[in-house]
């Protein structure tokens, strides 16, 4: 039961929103005074890093079409070709010491050539075998993003409406299941003190590959998070449930990672290297709004999940003993090592107040993993492939206006709810 639980928790964390491969032992890479433990290699004195990572350091947009790699920042454009040492920077032809290459699904590029072409300094310490990337100057987009964050913090309270669409395709054990889901979210948020009041209604719009029927109200929930704890209503159950689990710090999980505030999630991702850039203004109802784009690649998302798992104690809480914890950790590593995710946000903000009025999100997540054998159920280990394509639109409004918070005097604990559910299961199904 515990192995499926950790997989479900991981997917839930994705909806609220690849462990890095180990570096060569003789070299280390430091970026902006922080150690980088992701994939990289040193070939004949040239450091090779993932394209997404290189782009995130300099705040550039990166694209790959056929064998052509394009790195673009402001008005500067670099063109590279797989397996070729010839490059073009602002239409000037140049030679590199090493050619870009493809490692499975990861595109690798020369670190120093890319960094220094865009004005970021790279140093080498022969005594410590340390490669050092100096901090890049703050871009105009980074500055605007910081101003947007400050404006939201100053307003303290606001409301949010969201509409999402998600298509899921999952294959396991020779079966293929496709699902289309839609949801609406209405939320009120306060940052100090941290308060969240949210209603979520998710619908299964289409389901193929299985004969099971999903009740229409299965995914309809309410949530309240305040100084008294984290409470929610559970589908098919009456009343409130206080969410608690030994070893998991739900207060930290909600305060730092689970507020369902997209701006807060974006700020977290930016700390792990998300790329921020400006887009063309938009005219809405005769008024001109600014647009900031934030792109989060697989490496950024992997670091984000590593942080969540390490800070909240989820792995330790689910593993009942050392052996089971090791098995769960292996499952998680398999999950993250094979996770491919790209998330992009467009933040549409008022140029006068710097407060966001709308946001659009586009997310594609795919994963391949091995689901361990279950001796109790008699099922063998199976390969699972899953792809999730999600789009969402947010409206943010009523800045600085107080909102009512439900008073929860009567509730069940999670242990009490689970005990009731176990009693309800017929003996022949246990």
Stated pTM of the model? 0.62
Give a yes or no: residue 128 inside a domain: yes
Q: pLDDT tens across 142-160, in order?
A: 788 888 888 888 898 999 9
Are 338 and 367 contained in the same domain? Answer: yes
**Among 91, 114, 133, where does a domain finish?**
133
Q: pLDDT tens across 345-383, in order?
A: 899 999 999 999 999 999 888 888 777 777 776 778 788
Are 53 and 83 contained in the same domain? Answer: yes
Are 64 and 166 contained in the same domain? Answer: no
What is the residue range of 330's domain?
Answer: 2-17+140-424
Domain containing residue 88: CATH number = 3.30.457.10
Are 56 and 94 contained in the same domain? Answer: yes
Q: pLDDT tens across 172-221, in order?
A: 877 888 889 899 999 999 988 888 999 999 888 888 866 666 665 567 88
Are 396 and 420 contained in the same domain? Answer: yes
Give a yes or no: residue 229 inside a domain: yes
**Among 82, 110, 133, where does a domain finish?**
133
> Contacts for 273-276 with beta carbons within 8 Å, 24 or more apart?
273/53, 273/56, 273/57, 273/299, 273/300, 273/303, 274/56, 274/300, 275/55, 275/56, 275/59, 275/60, 275/61, 276/59, 276/139, 276/141, 276/142, 276/145
Query: Is pLDDT at 5 greater than 70 in this prediction?
Result: no
If you search the block for the tokens 């550039």, which residue do you land on? 60
């Amino acid at each position: 039961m515990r192995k499926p639980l950790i997989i479900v928790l991981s997917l839930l964390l994705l909806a609220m929103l690849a462990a890095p491969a180990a570096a060569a032992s003789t070299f280390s890479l430091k970026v902006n005074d922080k150690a980088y433990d992701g994939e990289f290699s040193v070939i004949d004195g040239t450091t090779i890093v993932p394209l997404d990572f290189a782009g995130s350091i300099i705040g550039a947009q990166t694209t790959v079409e056929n064998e052509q790699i394009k790195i673009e920042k402001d008005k500067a454009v670099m063109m590279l070709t797989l397996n070729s040492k010839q490059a073009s920077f602002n239409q000037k032809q140049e030679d590199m010491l090493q050619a870009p290459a493809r490692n499975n699904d990861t595109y690798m590029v020369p670190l120093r050539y890319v960094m220094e072409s865009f004005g970021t300094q790279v140093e080498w310490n022969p005594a410590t075998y340390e490669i050092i990337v100096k901090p890049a100057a703050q871009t105009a987009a980074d500055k605007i993003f910081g101003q947007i964050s400050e404006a939201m913090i100053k307003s303290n309270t606001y409301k949010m409406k969201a509409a999402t669409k998600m298509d899921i395709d999952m294959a396991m054990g020779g079966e293929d299941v496709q699902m289309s889901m839609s949801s609406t979210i209405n939320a009120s948020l306060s940052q100090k003190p941290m308060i969240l009041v949210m209603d979520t209604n998710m619908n299964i719009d289409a389901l193929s590959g299985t004969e099971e029927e999903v009740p229409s109200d299965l995914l309809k929930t309410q949530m309240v998070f305040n100084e008294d704890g984290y409470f929610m209503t559970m589908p098919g159950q009456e009343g409130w449930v206080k969410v608690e689990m030994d070893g998991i710090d739900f207060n930290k999980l909600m305060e730092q990672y689970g507020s369902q505030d997209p701006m807060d999630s974006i700020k977290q991702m930016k700390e792990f290297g998300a790329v921020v850039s400006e887009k063309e203004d938009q005219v809405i109802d005769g008024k001109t709004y600014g647009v900031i784009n934030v792109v989060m690649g697989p490496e950024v998302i992997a670091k984000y999940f590593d942080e969540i798992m390490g800070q909240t104690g989820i792995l330790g809480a689910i593993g009942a003993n050392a052996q089971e914890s090791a098995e769960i950790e292996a499952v998680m590593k398999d999950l993250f090592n094979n996770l491919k995710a790209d998330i992009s946000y467009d933040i549409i903000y008022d140029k006068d107040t710097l407060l966001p009025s709308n946001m659009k999100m586009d997310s594609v997540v795919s994963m391949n993993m091995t689901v361990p054998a279950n001796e109790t159920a008699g099922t063998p280990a199976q390969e699972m492939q899953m792809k999730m394509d999600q789009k969402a639109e947010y409206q943010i409004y009523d800045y600085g206006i107080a909102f009512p918070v439900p008073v929860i005097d009567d509730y069940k604990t999670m242990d009490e709810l689970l005990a009731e559910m176990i009693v309800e299961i017929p003996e022949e199904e246990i």
